[in-house]
Homo-oligomer: A and B are copies of this chain.
Amino acid sequence: MPNVLVHSNYGKSQVRLVKLVKHAERHEVRDLAVSVQLEGDYEAAHVAGDNAGVLPTDTMKNTVYVLAKLHDLDEPEDFARRLALHFLKTTAPASAARVEVVEHLWQRLPVAGWPHPTTFARDGAEKRTAMVRALRGGDTVVESGWRDLLVLKTAQSAFSGFQRDRYTTLRETEDRLFATTITAGWRYGAAVESGYASVRARMRQSLLEAFAEHDSRSVQHTLYAMCEAALERTPEVDEVRLSLPNKHHILADLSPFGFQNDNEIFVPTDEPFGLIEATVRRG
């Protein structure tokens, strides 16, 4: 019995581009990294080496540049959808196209107190993300997101009353540092009439404010509170997903030197790290 090609996908990853938009008085900058993946009927390519249905990934790269020239990049979701639908149209074997966009943000440099018209600084590690998966003759899923923002809570964070077994040595605490790098993704329940950027702004603000104000019993507890706050402020959104690595800050042991360490000196560590993830859907 011959073997079966159960699944395949292919495309181009990390197509980076910067678009400069020139107004009379000022410039704007868009900075994206785009990844494209196609799925579909690619058995001939795999089994027989027949490339007739294979659009080169180099062409995908060119297409990203051309469509970035022809259209505005104001909302990464729109650009991702445009690309996904383009590839379904031009590539017969593809039954699904998935496009991911990561947007790096630039802010104007202040000069003499005013934002400069043509000079920018990359605003930290925080990135916007968008993902569109389009099916031929079917649904298109849009997911927006946001990642790589490192945040820290120095109060209102406890972890106690947890399960203990024979290998448990962790002490209960009513007062610990809680640091995490937020990765968020959300899906829409209805047409987004206000624009994706409006949803994104409310989503960001509600997640961060909930993180700041929550009386946290655990990472899970705060994660859920963040999702609830976000769903309340973004009626356009149906489902929120958070991934919160616990960037542990361990108390330095100063007792050998005769000092107490009353939550004052911490050692931040990268490994190992807790990882807490959940998806919450609007009820």
Residues of A within 8 A of B (CB): 1-22, 27, 29, 31, 35, 37, 42, 45-59, 61-63, 65-66, 68-69, 90-91, 106, 109, 111-112, 116-125, 149-156, 159-170, 177, 208-209, 211-213, 216-221, 223-224, 227-228, 231, 239, 245-246, 249, 252, 254, 256-257, 259, 261, 263-283
Contact = CB atoms under 8 A, between A and B. Distances in A.
Contact of A163 (B55, B167, B252, B282): B55
Contact of A153 (B65, B118, B217, B274): B118
Contacts of A267: 16-18, 65
28 contacts: A6-B278, A7-B278, A8-B278, A8-B279, A9-B277, A10-B275, A17-B252, A18-B249, A20-B154, A27-B155, A29-B152, A42-B220, A49-B218, A54-B220, A57-B246, A59-B164, A59-B169, A62-B256, A65-B267, A69-B261, A69-B264, A111-B208, A111-B209, A112-B209, A117-B155, A118-B153, A119-B154, A270-B271
Contacts of A90: 165
Given A49-B217, A221-B46, A246-B57, A257 B62 contact: yes
B281 A52 contact: no
Contacts of A35: 275
A54 to B, nearest CB: 5
Contacts of A155: 27, 117-118
Contacts of A208: 109, 111, 121
Contacts of A283: 1-4
Contacts of A169: 58-59, 62, 256
Contacts of A18: 177, 249, 265-268
Nearest to A213: B111
A244 B106 CA distance: 19
Given A257-B167, A273-B14, A3 B52 contact: no
A155 B120 CA distance: 11
B29 A154 contact: yes
A20 B263 contact: yes
B46 A220 contact: yes
A15 B252 CA distance: 12
A109 B212 contact: yes
Contacts of A231: 3
Nearest to A28: B154
Given A162-B54, A273-B12, A123 B124 contact: yes
Which 5 residue pairs are nearest across A and B when measured between Cβ atoms?
A: A49-B217, A124-B124, A1-B283, A119-B212, A118-B155
